[in-house]
């Protein structure tokens, strides 16, 4: 299908908030976050301005991989609540103008899933073909995703004396998505949750989900176009709900990501995380040089009108740096993860942004201002709105999956249970609840939480960010990123300074109907009106303006031309 109707493309201007129920709020004080606790904190999200809530896996699980090892795709982990509690969350979210999306994790199951228990019990099991088996591992197996934790992707099952494929941990056997019965089950899973009122899915590890089947290769068969399956999932979603989304985790170069959108047709993934720009942003922060990020943004390929990039600074995994060169990655490590304990898998950082930036409020706010101003949809990980840190003692990727910090009290107000019963240790350094929490920041106009609320409001007011086209503006200062977003409603220019010293920035305002050409005649007499503070700058007769930007400073400016009636 070709996307032409844009009336229901709510994701183009959404603000997404990702949380793990287990670590968000414990309401029954058993030490584990629960759905009732989340319901009690929905007003916090509404006040922040969140419009889409992304729930990490809440399904039944042995919990060996933060819930991504699932034993029942249709269930709710009883530690967190039940289906009635989840429906109440969805209703409460809708009452507050929020949609809800959930994780779709169908590349693999837990090895405790009934399907796999049956499959490994006998070669004649009806579920044997739900997984991928072979007598011997291939001569050139794919590398493990988790170096240092797994030695390979094939595991011997001693009962049947065959090897099964596990692209991730060995307790997560890969599903054989080529099998029509598996595809039918995946469709049923999607249909079930859609009927409960969710608005789509964050699709886990998409390239692993659709890559050419090992089972087909073994039989010497042609697998066909793997993207046919993504197109079928999107079509199914469209039939069941006209405006549902598939937000894909596709950590690939930009040119390859376009294929996962479905090219010009936009009939595969609705949205994708921009891993390339995220990694370039950290390189720019490490160098105090905007050019790596400017290059990445300028290199974003055009996508269909209904497709969208998702911008983020960190997620629930490590800050992966795998798309940087080895030397570039080392630069970022040296700047933000000098201790080996702060790194994982030789490619990523297990810290949150505020600790990487030594708690410098100027740099922290500049980074979030930049994320919200980049064309696309911003995605926040819980705790980012208050500047939470990490607890490295939790180890690896668990370091950032600590309990949400609500107050300065016991366990940060997350739970009154004994600390030993919590799903993870609370942060205990300068970013502990004593110093960083929602209650203290809620009514403090100088707090990060207040600043994030302002960013969300300005982003929502500036629809060109979600809908417009990007032009990276030439700059003589290497520390400055200036970009313009042009949409049907007008233009916004954002300027961000990666250096500690103040700069004077020359700006040439692009034409409304151009893709960044030097013809600026329609900007004569225009004004650049600040959106994050009061003030405005006149545009000269040649369409240029000079802007002062402080060290680690940031400015959002609406281009207001004669006769423009838009509120600023």
Q: Please give the positions annotated as active site.
A: 204, 249
Give 557's strand partners. Answer: 493, 530
CB 128 within 8 A of CB 98: no
Q: What are the structure tokens assigned to 448, written together?
A: 């990060």
Cα(486)–Cα(463) distance, integer angstroms = 10
106, 132, 245, 550 from 182: Cα distances, Å: 9, 12, 21, 56
Nearest by Cα to 564 from 509, 495, 498, 519? 509
Cα(248)–Cα(143) distance, integer angstroms = 22
CB 552 within 8 A of CB 500: yes
Burial 362-401 (b: 16+ CB within 10 A, else e): ebbbbbbbbbbbbbbbbbbbbbbbbbbbbbbebebbbbbb
471, 510, 539, 546 from 524: Cα distances, Å: 19, 11, 6, 14
CB 353 within 8 A of CB 384: yes
What backbone torsions phi and psi does residue 423 show, to the nearest 5 degrees? -70, -20
Region for 67 from its dihedrals, namely left if φ exceeds 0, alpha if ψ lies in -120 to 50, beta otherwise: left
- Burial, 161: exposed, middle or buried (Cβ in 10 Å; 0-12, 13-18, 19+)? exposed
Find all residues with CB under 8 Å of 537, minimum gap 6, and list them: 527, 528, 545, 546, 547, 557
Cα(307)–Cα(248) distance, integer angstroms = 11
Residue with tokens 């702060």: 342
Query: Strand, coil or helix: what is 368?
Result: helix
Find all residues with CB under 8 Å of 372, minimum gap 6, and list them: 311, 378, 455, 456, 458, 459, 465
């Amino acid at each position: 299908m070709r996307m032409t109707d844009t009336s229901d493309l709510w994701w183009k201007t959404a603000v997404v908030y990702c949380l793990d129920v287990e670590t968000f709020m414990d309401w029954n004080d058993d030490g584990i976050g629960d759905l009732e606790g989340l319901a009690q904190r929905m007003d916090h999200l509404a006040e922040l301005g969140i419009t889409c809530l992304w729930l990490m896996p809440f399904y039944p699980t042995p919990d060996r991989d933060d819930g991504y090892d699932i034993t029942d795709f249709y269930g709710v982990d009883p530690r967190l609540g039940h289906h009635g509690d989840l429906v109440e969350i969805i209703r409460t979210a809708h009452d507050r103008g929020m949609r809800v999306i959930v994780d779709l994790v169908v590349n693999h199951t837990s090895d405790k899933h009934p399907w796999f228990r049956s499959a490994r019990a006998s070669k004649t099991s009806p579920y044997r073909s739900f997984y991928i088996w072979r007598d011997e591992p291939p001569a050139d197996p794919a590398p493990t995703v988790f170096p240092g934790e797994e030695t390979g992707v094939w595991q011997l099952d001693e009962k049947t004396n065959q090897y099964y494929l596990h692209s991730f941990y060995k307790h997560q056997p890969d599903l054989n998505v080529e099998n029509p019965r598996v595809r039918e089950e995946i469709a049923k899973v999607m249909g079930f949750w859609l009927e409960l009122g969710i608005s789509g899915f964050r699709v886990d590890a998409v390239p692993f989900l659709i890559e050419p089947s090992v089972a087909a290769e073994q039989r010497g068969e042609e697998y066909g176009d793997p993207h046919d399956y993504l197109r079928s999932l999107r079509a199914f979603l469209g039939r069941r709900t006209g405006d549902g989304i598939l937000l894909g985790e596709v950590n690939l170069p930009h040119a390859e990501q376009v294929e996962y959108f479905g090219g010009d047709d936009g009939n595969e993934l609705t949205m994708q995380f921009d891993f390339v720009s995220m990694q370039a942003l950290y390189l720019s922060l490490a160098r105090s040089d905007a050019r790596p990020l400017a290059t990445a943004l300028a290199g974003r390929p055009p996508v269909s009108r209904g497709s969208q990039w998702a911008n983020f600074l960190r997620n629930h995994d490590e800050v992966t740096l795998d798309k940087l060169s080895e030397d570039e990655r080392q630069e970022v490590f040296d700047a933000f993860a000098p201790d080996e304990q702060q790194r994982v898998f030789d490619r990523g950082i297990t810290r949150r942004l505020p600790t990487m930036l030594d708690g410098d409020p100027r740099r922290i706010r500049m980074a979030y201002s930049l994320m919200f101003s980049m064309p696309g949809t911003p995605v926040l990980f819980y705790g980012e709105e208050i500047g939470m840190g990490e607890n490295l003692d939790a180890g690896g990727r668990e370091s950032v999956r600590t309990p949400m910090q609500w107050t300065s009290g016991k366990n940060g107000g997350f739970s009154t249970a004994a600390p030993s019963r919590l799903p993870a240790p609370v942060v205990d350094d300068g970013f502990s609840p004593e110093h960083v929490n929602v209650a203290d920041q809620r009514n403090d106009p100088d707090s990060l939480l207040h600043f994030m609320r302002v960013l969300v409001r300005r982003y929502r007011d500036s629809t060109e960010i979600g809908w417009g086209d990007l032009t990276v503006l030439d700059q003589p200062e290497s520390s400055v990123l200036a970009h313009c977003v042009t949409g049907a409603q007008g233009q916004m220019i954002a300027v961000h300074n990666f250096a500690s010293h103040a700069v004077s920035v020359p700006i040439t305002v692009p034409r409304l109907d151009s893709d960044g050409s030097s013809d600026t005649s329609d900007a004569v007499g225009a004004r650049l009106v600040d959106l994050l503070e009061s003030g405005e700058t006149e545009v000269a007769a040649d369409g240029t303006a000079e802007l002062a930007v402080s060290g680690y400073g940031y400015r959002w400016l609406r281009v207001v031309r004669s006769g423009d009636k838009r509120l600023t």
